[in-house]
């Protein structure tokens, strides 16, 4: 299908049904624990994939390995903490859940139960490796410092007030910069986002599966 091997498609489908719902549930759960019950009332405190499904994002993750779910509505002003800090914590929880899924996939390798990847094949080792690969892609991509990605909200919460205010002032333009990085630069032959994601992902893969 579209040049995608069955094992790759299966790994992406698992991330769609498990990884993306886990990502959005983590946003919802952390906000709820901080005192904001908005996600609960919106029915997003759930691991049901249908509660978080975005059709375009689902199609893209199956075809490309990159995609998204429906964003969880969060009101940081209802949290029992500084709104920027609360939003940063809730935002970081999503990518952290994807990293956790990658770590779980690595456990059989670390225990010596699995070895011998067969890219394009159908063995369990390959399936877990590919699930971890897509999960790391999602975690790293979402931590990029561009609104509406989680990384921008994390930075707003942890940077000094002056710098975070500057970042907020850039927010109206940030999505256009992100679109340019995602689509325009690759069209011109420069995949900066892919390079940055790969630069971070390779040492993480080594740490999780090899070292």
Domain segments of the chain as ranges: 6-210
Tokens of 22: 């886990």
CA-wise closest residue to 120 among 110, 130, 111: 130
The residue from 19, 24, 102, 127 that is catalytic is 24
- DSSP H or E stretch at residue 131: helix 124-142
Q: What's the mean pLDDT when you consider all of the chain?
A: 91
With b meaning 16 or more CB within 10 Å and e meaning fewer, what string describes 172-209? Answer: eebeeebeebbeeeeeeeeeebbeebeeebeebbeebb
Task: Inform me whether the pLDDT recorded for 154 exceeds 80.
Answer: yes
Separation of alpha carbons 153 and 38, rounded Å: 18
Angular region, 74: left φ>0, alpha ψ -120 to 50, beta rest: beta
pLDDT mean over 128-141 = 94
Above 80 in pLDDT, residue 1?
no
User: Scanning the structure block, which residue is given the tokens 């740490």?
Assistant: 207
pLDDT tens track for 51-78: 999 999 899 899 888 888 999 999 999 9
97-123 per-position pLDDT tens digit: 999 999 999 998 888 887 666 555 568
Average pLDDT estimate for 179-205? 89
152 a catalytic residue: no
pLDDT score, position 113: 81
């Amino acid at each position: 299908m579209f040049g995608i091997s069955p094992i790759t498609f299966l790994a992406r489908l698992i991330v769609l049904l498990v990884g993306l719902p886990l990502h959005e549930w983590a946003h919802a759960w952390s906000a709820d624990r901080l005192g904001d019950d908005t996600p609960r009332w919106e029915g997003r405190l759930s691991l049901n994939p249908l509660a978080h499904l975005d059709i375009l994002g689902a199609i893209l993750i199956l075809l490309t390995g990159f995609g998204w779910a429906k964003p969880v509505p969060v009101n940081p002003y209802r949290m029992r903490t500084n709104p920027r800090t609360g939003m940063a914590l809730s935002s970081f929880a999503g990518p952290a859940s994807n990293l956790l899924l990658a770590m779980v996939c690595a456990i059989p390798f670390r225990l010596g139960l699995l070895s011998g990847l067969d890219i394009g094949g159908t063995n369990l080792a390959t399936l877990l490796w590919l699930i971890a690969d897509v999960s790391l892609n999602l975690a790293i991509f979402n931590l990029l410092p561009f609104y509406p990605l989680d990384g921008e909200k994390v930075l707003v919460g942890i940077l000094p007030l002056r710098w975070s205010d500057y970042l907020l002032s850039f927010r109206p333009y940030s999505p256009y910069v992100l679109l340019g990085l995602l689509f325009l630069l690759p069209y011109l032959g420069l995949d900066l986002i892919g390079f940055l994601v790969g630069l971070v992902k390779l040492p993480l893969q080594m740490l999780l599966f090899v070292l």
